């Protein structure tokens, strides 16, 4: 079921929560709404669900599920499944009864038979790998198990659209990672249309077919994760999607200088600020004729296949972060207090918010 939002805006009193939003979500797509607190992402999700009403003036917006206009349809009639951050399970009901609840309260003419309900519930519990816990109560489950029950309950009524509000926000990092992979596999298997809210960049990029980046009630960019990460449309998107190192200085005759540090750049004269991702910083024991960026190693954190290295220097307003391979870490025999030289593999600049990132040559 596709979703189309046309001119959806929202005020809370005199506060603008959402500028007029237009968004098309394709059938079977998993779309993440990503942004900081106050960006409007949860408000937009609740308007899609029917839990909030969009502004009706000066011009009413429209929400379409496929060809069906649900703009004025009550939440109970929109045929949506909703998964909350804090599970919202019925504590006095077993896992089985929680999943079956939406089916048992359907109008009699729409309600499946007892046998059909039982078959559907156990099929869903099998999908979420909890069929052996059908008789347990929520208090007897872990947080990750409770969230899987919540998802099974939302899917039991065969919704046209599945909406998730920070679904893994209350879980620890390892459980969140496991559940993200599990939800991605389940989504691929069932091919339902889903929209989820998150402020976690890694979660959005890992789960989504497309990511909607929001800020101050407006959409900044909509793209596939790879496109979003490598081709951000403005500085906000670039900085929000991961760690960023800043190199500020003055360019004169194609050389950017900042204190004793310098970097040859093909840029016009004037003040410049270059932005670099941690993986775009190479470390070496010696400078070159075109790049002299001396740094000191102040912290080292092995993380999976990479080593995160924090760097400081007199010419830096804020520490830099570099990610290096274990082979390079061992070759350089890195240690705290070590003096090294940074080399930008590539950099990005945003002369104004309307321009996309420009990439330099490899140094």
Residue-range definition of the domain harbouring residue 335: 245-359
How many whole angstroms from its chain centre is CA 95?
29
Pick the last residue of a domain from 240, 265, 293. 240
CATH number for the domain that contains residue 149:
3.40.50.300
CA distances from 150 to 56, 76, 91 (A): 33, 17, 12
Which token pair is 92? 């006095």
What is the CB neighbour count within 10 angstroms for residue 253? 6
Q: Say whether pTM exceeds 0.85.
A: no
Which token pair is 144? 């990750």
Pick the last residue of a domain from 207, 240, 273. 240
Q: Do 151 and 300 share a domain, yes or no?
A: no
Q: Do 151 and 40 share a domain, yes or no?
A: yes
Q: Specify the 3-state DSSP secondary structure of 55.
A: coil
Containing 302, the helix (H) or strand (E) segment is strand 294-303
What is the CB neighbour count within 10 angstroms for residue 302? 10
CA distance 335 to 145: 42
- Quote the number of domains for the chain: 2
Q: Do 90 and 194 share a domain, yes or no?
A: yes
CA distances from 320 to 201, 238, 278, 309, 312 (A): 20, 16, 8, 8, 6
Going by DSSP bridges, is the β-strand pair 193-198/80-83 parallel, antiparallel, or unpaired?
unpaired
CA distance 45 to 52: 9
Q: Do 233 and 313 share a domain, yes or no?
A: no
Is 321 in contact with 278 (CB distance < 8 Å)?
Answer: yes
State the DSSP code for 347: -
CA distance 48 to 65: 9
State the DSSP code for 53: P
Pick the last residue of a domain from 240, 275, 298. 240
Q: Do 298 and 313 share a domain, yes or no?
A: yes
Q: Do 229 and 250 share a domain, yes or no?
A: no
Q: Do 271 and 292 share a domain, yes or no?
A: yes
Which token pair is 29? 């797509």
Whose CA is closest to 308, among 325, 330, 295, 294? 325
Q: Do 48 and 180 share a domain, yes or no?
A: yes
Residues 6+ apart with CB under 8 A from 68: none
Q: Do 58 and 17 share a domain, yes or no?
A: yes
Q: Do 140 and 261 share a domain, yes or no?
A: no
Angle of the 143-156 helix axis to the 95-104 helix axis, nearest 10: 20
Q: Do 260 and 200 share a domain, yes or no?
A: no
CA distance 316 to 300: 18
Is 150 in contact with 87 (CB distance < 8 Å)?
Answer: yes
Is 353 in contact with 236 (CB distance < 8 Å)?
Answer: yes
Q: Do 282 and 190 share a domain, yes or no?
A: no
Which token pair is 254? 């194609």
CATH number for the domain that contains residue 307:
2.40.50.100
Tens digits of pLDDT across the chain (363 residues)? 899 999 999 999 889 999 999 999 999 999 999 999 889 999 999 999 999 999 987 788 899 999 999 999 998 888 898 888 777 888 999 999 999 998 888 888 888 899 999 998 998 888 888 889 999 999 999 888 888 898 888 888 888 899 998 887 767 777 777 878 888 888 888 888 999 999 888 889 988 999 999 999 999 999 999 999 888 999 999 999 989 999 999 999 999 999 899 999 999 999 999 999 999 999 999 999 999 999 999 999 998 889 999 999 999 999 999 999 999 999 999 999 999 999 999 999 887 543 344 443 344
């Amino acid at each position: 079921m596709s979703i189309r939002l046309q001119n959806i805006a929202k005020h809370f009193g005199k506060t603008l929560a959402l500028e007029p939003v237009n968004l098309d979500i394709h059938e079977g797509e998993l779309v993440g709404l990503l942004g900081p607190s106050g960006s409007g992402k949860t408000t937009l999700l609740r308007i899609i669900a029917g839990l909030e009403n969009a502004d009706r003036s000066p011009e009413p917006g429209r929400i379409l599920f496929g060809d069906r206009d649900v703009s004025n349809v009550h939440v109970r009639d929109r045929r949506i499944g909703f998964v909350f951050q804090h599970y919202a399970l019925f504590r006095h009901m077993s896992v089985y009864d929680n999943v079956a609840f939406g089916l048992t309260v359907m109008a009699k003419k729409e309600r499946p038979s007892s046998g059909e309900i039982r078959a559907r519930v156990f099929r869903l519990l099998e999908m979420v790998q909890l069929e052996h816990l059908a008789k347990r109560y929520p208090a007897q489950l872990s947080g990750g198990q409770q969230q899987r029950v919540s998802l099974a309950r939302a899917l039991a009524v065969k919704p046209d659209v599945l909406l998730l509000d920070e679904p893994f926000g209350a879980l620890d990092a390892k459980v969140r990672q496991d559940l993200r992979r599990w939800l991605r596999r389940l989504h691929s298997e069932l091919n339902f249309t889903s929209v989820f809210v998150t402020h976690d960049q890694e979660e959005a990029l890992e789960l989504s077919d497309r990511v909607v980046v929001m800020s101050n009630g407006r959409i900044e960019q909509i793209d596939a994760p790879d496109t979003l990460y490598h081709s951000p449309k403005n500085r906000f998107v670039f900085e929000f999607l991961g760690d960023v190192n800043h190199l500020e200085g003055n360019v004169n005759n194609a050389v950017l200088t900042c204190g004793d540090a310098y970097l040859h750049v093909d840029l016009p004269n004037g003040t410049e600020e270059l932005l670099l991702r941690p993986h775009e910083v190479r470390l070496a024991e010696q400078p070159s004729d075109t790049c002299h960026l001396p740094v000191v190693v102040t912290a080292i954190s092995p993380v999976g296949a990479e080593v995160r290295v924090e760097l400081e220097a007199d010419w830096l307003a804020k520490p830099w972060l570099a990610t290096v391979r274990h082979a390079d870490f061992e070759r350089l025999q890195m240690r705290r207090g070590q003096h090294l030289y940074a080399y930008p593999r590539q950099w990005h600049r945003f002369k104004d918010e309307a321009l996309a990132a420009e990439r330099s040559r490899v140094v």
